[in-house]
Amino acid sequence: MSVEKIIDNFQIKWPITSMEPYGGGHINDTYYVQCQNEGGPDYLLQKVNSYVFKDIEGLMNNIEIVTTHLIKKLEENGIQDIERRSLKLVTTKNEKLYVKDDDGEFWRVFNFIEDHKVYDGAPNTEIAFEGARMFGKFLNELSELDPTSVVDTIPNFHNITFRLENLEKAIDENPAGRVKQVKEEIKYVRSRRETMSVIQHLGEKGLIRSRIVHNDTKINNVLFDQQNKGLCVIDLDTIMPGYVHYDFGDGVRTCANTGSEDDADLNNISYDLEMYKAFSTGYIESVHSVLNDTERSTLAQAALLFPFIMGVRFLTDYIAGDVYYKINYEDHNLVRARAQLKLTADGEAKFNELENIVKNA
Ligand code: ADP
Ligand code: GN1
Ligand code: MG
């Protein structure tokens, strides 16, 4: 079905003047829909990746629950400009949150956040601090909701035991014949099985709280205004019950890396301690009042777990023959895996400093 036909299912203010592919996410297909309505809204149309997300109904309900709560908080606090400060779903003409097209694909529409900036990596410590403050505020405000009110959109998403089992399965099956090229990476991953399970074990023992977490706190999932103040947290598909470590970890992994997520030159990759400090300070400023002592004292562990778990996931997808992530070239997943494992190793070497920074933040 054409995108023009899809968008016709939604309650939007016509007429559309243009519709074009938008953004650089790895998962969904996104389109910017511009309308010719004086002062009225534009829209963001997304095809949700149904290979990655099996429970679209649950996922869309999660987004509705969370955005309704966040909008209520903005209203209670008398914030102006609410439509730029939260995602809001545009419902269909039959008041549904999404449509399923003739090919079985799922589509949804959000308000388009006008006049925003987005960063793939934090260009300076101010952006790292502000992005972190936004993600922390997000977790803080959602801590008022019961975590069981949202469903797992990807079961075991950040469960390292599950991710390591998946890697072993891929190695056994070796469908693309690539295992021989990644012996070193497999050896490193296997040697860290225990040390990378600390957070998982704390959760299983009930020492850290199950919370509603974002689970994809890359800096490009915060939209900023022209003055570089945070506007809005986006990309809400992976909201699920989880641990605060997941959001802190993914944040520092992306914000405080001197290289890029898929840097082919491993010499570029390391933890930038100034950026790490800026992210930690912004994040902890927003969340410290809701965390318990164990959560606070173990947060830095996430700076190891997150590049590690991402390394494991990229490596698994490389071995599986690139079935999950969008790739731009043949060995892209391998390059990503190596980059993330390099960041893990750098975090291990600097762990005392990473821990002290969090303690003092
Ligand atoms: P993915 O899961 O593929 O990363 P996202 O939901 O993060 O998809 O969206 C991809 C890109 O689209 C974002 O990086 C951002 O630039 C843009 N975007 C997403 N939602 C909005 C919105 N409501 N308003 C404006 N831009 C948006
Ligand atoms: C994916 O949707 P996007 O591109 O923001 C992935 C994250 C990874 C990230 C790595 C549902 O996020 O878990 O951290 O790529 N999302 C899903 O860049 O798997
Ligand atoms: Mg995104």
Number of residues written out for the chain: 361
Ligand 2: nearest atom to the Cα of 27 = 2
What whole-number distance in Å separates Cα of residue 30 and Cα of residue 281?
Answer: 32
What confidence category does residue 1 fall into, taking pLDDT thresholds of 50, 70 and 90? low
Q: What is the mean pLDDT of residues 273-294?
A: 97
Q: Give the separation between CA 98 and CA 130, rounded to whole angstroms.
A: 32
pLDDT of the residue at 5: 86
pLDDT reported for residue 329: 97
Would residue 105 count as lying in a domain? yes
- Counting the structural domains of the chain, the total is 2
Co-location of 99 and 137 in the same domain: no
Query: Which tops the pLDDT comparison, 118 or 19?
Result: 118
What are the tokens at 90? 């545009």
- Measured from the alpha carbon of residue 108, the closest ligand is 1
Q: Residues lining ligand 3 (ion), CB within 5 A?
A: 25, 221, 235
Among 78, 111, 144, the domain boundary falls at 111
**Ligand 1 mean position to 221 CA, how many Å?**
7
Same domain, 107 and 130: no
For ligand 2, pick from 63, 216, 314 the residue to mutate: most ligand atoms within 8 Å of CB: 216
Rounded to 5°, angle at Cα 166 from 107 and 335 = 80
Structure tokens at 351: 């762990």
Same domain? 64 vs 212: no
For the stretch 72-115, pLDDT in tens is 999 999 998 899 999 999 999 999 999 999 999 999 999 999 99
Query: In 3D, which of 124, 295, 298, 153 has the Cα closest to residue 219?
Result: 124
Q: Which two tokens stand for residue 302?
A: 């996430």
- Domain-located, residue 119: no
The reply to whether 160 falls in a domain is yes
Residue 275's identity, in one-letter code, is M
| DSSP secondary structure string for all residues of 317-340 | HHHHTS-SS--SSTTHHHHHHHHH
- Residues 101 and 135 grouped into a single domain: no
Confidence of residue 40 (pLDDT cuts 50, 70, 90): confident
CATH for 24: 3.30.200.20
Q: Which of 62, 84, 111 is the last residue of a domain?
A: 111
Asked if 87 and 146 sit in the same domain, the reply is no
pLDDT value for 17: 83
**pLDDT of res. 4:** 80
* 269, part of any domain: yes
Is residue 219 very low, low, confident or very high in pLDDT (cuts 50, 70, 90)? very high
50 phi/psi in degrees, rounded to 5: -85, -5
100-134 core/surface letters (b: 16 or more CB in 10 A; e: else): eeeeebbbbbbbbbeeeeebebbeebebbbbbbbb
Q: Dihedral (C-alpha) 95, 45, 35, 1: value to the nearest 10 degrees?
A: -90
Question: Same structural domain for residues 303 and 187?
Answer: yes
Q: Which residues contact 343 (CB under 8 A, 6 or more apart)?
A: 253, 257, 259, 269, 270, 271, 307, 311
* Residues 249-264, mean pLDDT to the nearest whole number: 96
Residue 174 maps to which CATH number?
3.90.1200.10
Nearest to 209 by CA among 251, 239, 168, 242: 242
Whether residue 117 is contained in a domain is answered as no
In a domain, 120, yes or no: no
- Please identify, among 85, 111, 137, the residue that sits at the C-terminal boundary of a domain: 111
Whether 233 is in a domain gets the answer: yes
Give the range of the structural domain holding residue 179, as residue numbers without chain letter: 125-360
Residues in the ligand 1 pocket, defined by CB under 6 Å? 22-23, 25-28, 30, 44, 87, 110-113, 116, 118, 220-221, 234-235
Question: Over the chain, what is the mean pLDDT?
Answer: 95
- Does residue 44 sit in the same domain as residue 161? no
332 located within any domain: yes
332 and 196 together in one domain: yes
**Which of residues 156 and 1 earns the better pLDDT score?**
156
Based on the fold, state whether residues 311 and 220 are members of the same structural domain.
yes
Please tell me whether residues 141 and 239 are part of one structural domain. yes
pLDDT interval class at 10 (50, 70, 90): very high
> Which pLDDT does position 173 carry in this prediction?
98
Of 223, 71, 64, 237, nearest in space to 134 by CA: 223
Residue 232 shares a structural domain with residue 279: yes
CA distance 190 to 26: 27
pLDDT confidence bin for 300, thresholds 50/70/90: very high
Whether pLDDT at 24 is above 90: no
Residues 19 and 129 in one domain: no
**Do strands 222-224 and 211-213 pair parallel, antiparallel, or not at all (unpaired)?**
unpaired
